[in-house]
Structure 1
Amino acid sequence: MVLDPTGRARDAESAELFARGPATPVDILGVPAWAVADPVLLEELLRDPRVSKDGHRHWPDFERLVPNWPLALWVSARNMFTAHGADHRRLRRLAGAAFTTRQVAAMTGRIEELTATLLDEIALTPPGTAVDLRERLAYPLPIQVIAQLLGLPDALRDSFRHTVDLVFSTTLTPEESAANAASFYRMLDELIAAKREQPGQDMTSRLIAARDTEGDGSALTEEELRDTLLLIVSAGYETTVNLIDNAITLLLTHPGQLDLVRAGKAGWDDVVEEALRHQAPVAHLPLRYAIEDIALPGGVTIRRGEAILAAYAAAGRHPARYGTDGGVFDVTRPVKDHLAFGHGPHFCLGAPLGRLEARTALRALFERFPRLELLPGAQLEPVESLISNGHRSLPVLLTQDR
């Protein structure tokens, strides 16, 4: 089964993954893997110590396939995303201090301020003029939050955004992907050099201090420093952009669900969790690898060294867990179980922050513009990616009350 790199066949692909069983051989831009869409099996594999994310150590095809693969950066970087075992725990510990419950809660006021400023700017739109909420709200809010967290200079923000967009694109040639990765690393080196010269009270400065204080690599190597920043810049906002985008879209296309929230029969947390389940911000996440043979139900075996693809978008609607209404958006769904942020040791560190940003943005948006509606006749196009699940634009009309 060849996965569509443009993201246009996602629903059909999910249906086919359901029909083919718990694990399906797929082609990801020329690389073979087992796509796992069954949420029960996926949960098991995500916490199974026989499954690694370290392609350097546990993927025999790494040297042969990765150099000419457009998604090379996803598996070659050395950070907690691609680490296994003790290395993963070490790197996660260093980054985790910025994402504790206390730290995230402390950011609530600032996120509310940023959201209010963005909505003030949106409110200046002339009547009858379409507003792209992906561009004007879903993008800038997470970018500004992650920029503050990392201490990104204003001059680098737009450059980082463009580069991260291309990291998530799956329509680039290997040459285009390699050039984008090189550009990304140049910006990271510029950021590290600036923070070494003039450190601040930000995560980048703290990681540099850990690196430079323990220069023997017991904290993290220079390569791990760069790649940890690469991970946080990339994952730190792209997934939240898609979450906000998808949640707005779902509410505008399911007005009855928005009425339930306004009537107090569901809360904004319910909206966020159901949007995460119904439209996982990351559709497919490369890659994991079997450290040894893993026998699956139905007589299928994932052999040692074979790659595994977490099919999160399909898992969020799988009939084995959600029945025949898995494709229905229902904010009153009683069980809030989904895998949109992963599971097990690699569960997303930024999940509390992403949830906070989405909840804040949605509540403020629909309170400020209660008559918000999609631009009539708008055709929402997916971003060109088999990884990122969002829209290229989200045009709406504010239709403000006088």
Structure 2
Amino acid sequence: MQAILAGAVLLVCLSTPLMGGKQRPRKWSKRLAPESSAGAPLAVGLGSWAMWVLMFPVLRVGFTGTRDAWIGVALLVLCVLIARLMVRMVAPARLKGSRMLVAARTVGLCCVVAGVMAPLDAEVDKQPMAGMTVIYATTAAVLGLMRIVDHGYFPLVVLRKALWKAFLAVVTGYWIQHTGGTLVPDPDHATAGTLLLAVLWWSLVVLSAGCAVAAAVRLVPWLRAGPPAHPAPPGVTSWPPAIGDVWTAELNYDDNTYKERPVVVLERTPGFVRVLGVTSVDQSARRRAYLKLRLPEWEGVLTKDSWLNLEIVHVPYSDFLWRRGECPGRVWDVLCTKADVRERSAKAGPAPGFTFRYRLRSAMNAHVGRDARVVRARADSRVRRVWAREKV
């Protein structure tokens, strides 16, 4: 009974990444990023069973004769096609069109499944259900790692998932050994149940270790230079920001506050984007520092007459929320030739949003400082209240 419970816990841990979840960006009300796929475990279960059925006779018979060789090649082609469908199912939309990446992952999945089946097929053949579970565990671990790496944009969030799965692996491993099982069985003498639990446990260990490595590889450059340009932040449909586009982004200010504003993209660099911010506050008294934007020319991009700040701002890639449209051609020509477009003054210090504290918090899907949005004060209120953005 204890072995059945341990196996059920391990299967749930392996199936959870396939189902995914709603990855909440910091501006969740404007930029939802649904990732859930409740039918993914079932689809992977059917696909892994089909791979087992197709690959089993190839491993057992081999390519001994001409006829067997052609049958084996046909079965392997069908197996690759099924693996390709599963790989595309767990991949995000931006990667589905990358044929080389999908092909490489498909071949890798088939090789891993074949490598697990080769030493275990003699034992699991006695219990078909155990054999199917072993192949499902292997396939789920590989596909779950792909899904977490593809959809896990914030490295410390991915690391938290890895630590949680490592904790579950330690608990279930102690449970298996405490009940008389072993985590390193001999395939020639162990029973099918013992092999099944061992494969399930090692699949969870590989999944947690792969997530930890992927999080560490992404975290080091994130803390060193800021959020990377790739992969795209969760929830954005058009990526990366193109030169001349108008986006909504979170701008950080020197008073430790931030606010969403439209921005005009001037240039992309490996670590940040150079933009010009847009404000709706009247800046008529500062015409040398701002450019008037009239609504008829910006129809569909802005909602009211606004002013364009001619001081360049550096914005991290993780702070871009969604694309609003394109900068009108006349205004873009003015920006390309206007001498008043200037860099941030050196006396103002480093640009906000690029300190180590900010980079560390952004890797957690959190934000430094307060939201600068305010609500209209009531007649009996003397203090304006500041909205505090919920921690995600």
TM-score range, shorter chain: under 0.3
TM-score by length of structure 2 reads 0.23
Q: Max radius of gyration: which structure?
A: 2
Normalising by the residue count of structure 1, what TM-score does the alignment of the two structures yield?
0.23
